[in-house]
């Protein structure tokens, strides 16, 4: 299997094995499309996003894979009692990978986390839905 | 036309239009409507609603595609009551339809730049309420 898919699957396995403040089931997807009706339950989606190959030395390259994580759930009131646990969960997920190698693909080491969308205002306003996006970057030398 | 001494012609014209709108609203309620449950928190009531525009829509936002059904309900302003009191729709309210052994829950939500509801006529006789399907359950 390709490097980027190995990394994405390892992220899914790590998420599903972790003990976090909210129970979740992560899935790898190629295309992040969803039915609004599915959002009553917490949805965590892992989507390979970009892949860069750079020279490392005379014999090896660095493979850098960007993996998007979407954390989504519909809310009722959108108050702190509902949303704070979700924001905390997103940070827990980010921390889960920080400064580590992936357990089931040890060649991949964490290289960075970008949290550009803490929560989507569009989804909040239009759908009463919490949507947060994380981008994890992993590096493999080979 | 004898409009009487106390009423101006423009007032009569407005009344005719209002009467016509009232007639149309009544016809919709009598012949093109169904019973739905209108729910806000623990409060709910049964109202007669005409189903307006229904769209299957895909919305892309933040790189994600959300598929959903968007449906408008037309409800007589005077008939929408909760806990015995007249009320206006609020974002997050639910409209629940039961059909063929299933319940369909629609949440009152804005659509695009529009608010979640508006009056559908100049005389505020009917409400046009925008909703999105959020759950389908077996009864």
User: What average pLDDT score do residues B113-139 get?
Assistant: 92
Whether A122 contacts B109, CB under 8 Å: no
Average pLDDT, whole number, for chain B?
A: 86
In this complex, is the C-beta atom of A73 within 8 Å of any C-beta atom belonging to chain B? no
Q: What is the pLDDT of residues A32-45, one digit of tens each?
A: 888 999 999 999 99
Label residue B112 by pLDDT band (50, 70, 90). Answer: confident
Q: What is the mean pLDDT of residues B19-28?
A: 75
- Select from A32, A37, A133 the Cβ nearest to the Cβ of B133: A37
Residues A77-105, mean pLDDT to the nearest whole number: 96
Residue A89, number of CB atoms within 10 A of its CB: 20
Nearest to A65 by CA among A27, A25, A120, A107: A107
| Proportion of chain B above pLDDT 70, given as a percent | 86
Identify the pLDDT of residue A65: 96
Mean pLDDT of B32-50: 93
- Taking each continuous run of H as one helix and of E as one strand, the counts in chain A are 3, 7
Q: Which chain A residues are closer than 8 Å to B110 by Cβ?
A: 125-126
Which residues of chain B make contact with A115, given a CB cutoff of 8 A? none
pLDDT of residue B6: 59
> What is the pTM assigned to this prediction?
0.83
H helix runs in A18-136, sequence order:
80-97, 121-127
CB within 8 Å: A126 and B68: no
Q: What is the pLDDT of residue A142?
A: 86
**B17 pLDDT band (50/70/90 cuts)?**
confident
- Is residue B22 over pLDDT 80? no
Q: Which of B64, B92, B136 is facing A131, going by the closest CB pair?
A: B64
Task: Give pLDDT, residue A37.
Answer: 92
- Substitution target in A121, A127, A130 with the highest count of B β-carbons within 10 Å is A127
pLDDT on residue B21 = 75
Classify burial at A61, counting beta carbons within 10 Å of its beta carbon; exposed 0-12, middle 13-18, buried 19 or more.
middle
Q: Exposed, middle or buried by CB within 10 Å (0-12, 13-18, 19+), for B99?
A: exposed
pLDDT value at position A87? 97
Q: Is a pLDDT exceeding 90 seen at residue B114?
A: no
pLDDT for res B63: 75
Q: Nearest-5° angle of CA B136, CA B41, CA B85? A: 120
The pLDDT of residue A47: 94
Task: Find the mean pLDDT for residues A76-94.
Answer: 96
């Amino acid at each position: 299997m390709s490097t980027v898919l190995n990394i994405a699957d390892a992220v899914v396995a790590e998420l599903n094995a972790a003990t976090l403040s909210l129970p979740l089931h992560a899935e790898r997807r190629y295309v992040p499309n969803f039915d609004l009706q599915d959002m009553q339950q917490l949805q965590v989606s892992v989507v390979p996003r970009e892949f860069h190959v750079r020279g490392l030395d005379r014999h090896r390259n660095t493979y850098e894979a960007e993996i998007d994580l979407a954390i989504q759930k519909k809310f009722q009131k959108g108050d702190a009692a509902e949303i704070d646990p979700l924001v905390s969960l997103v940070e827990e997920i980010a921390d889960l990978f920080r400064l580590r190698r992936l357990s089931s693909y040890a060649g991949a080491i964490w290289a960075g986390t970008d949290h550009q969308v803490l929560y989507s205002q569009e989804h909040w306003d239009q759908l009463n839905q919490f949507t947060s996006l994380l981008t994890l970057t992993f590096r493999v030398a080979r | 036309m004898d409009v009487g001494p106390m009423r101006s012609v423009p007032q009569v014209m407005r009344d005719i239009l209002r009467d016509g709108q009232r007639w149309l609203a009544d016809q919709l309620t009598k012949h093109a409507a169904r019973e739905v449950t209108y729910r806000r928190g623990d409060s709910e009531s049964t109202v007669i609603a005409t189903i307006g525009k229904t769209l299957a829509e895909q919305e892309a936002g933040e790189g994600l595609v959300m598929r959903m059904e968007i449906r408008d309900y037309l409800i007589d302003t005077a008939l929408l009551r909760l806990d015995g009191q007249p009320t206006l729709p609020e974002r997050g309210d639910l409209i629940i339809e039961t059909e063929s052994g299933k319940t369909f829950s629609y949440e009152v939500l804005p659509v695009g730049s529009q608010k979640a509801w508006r009056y559908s006529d100049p005389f505020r006789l009917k409400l046009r309420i925008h909703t999105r399907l959020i759950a389908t359950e077996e009864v």
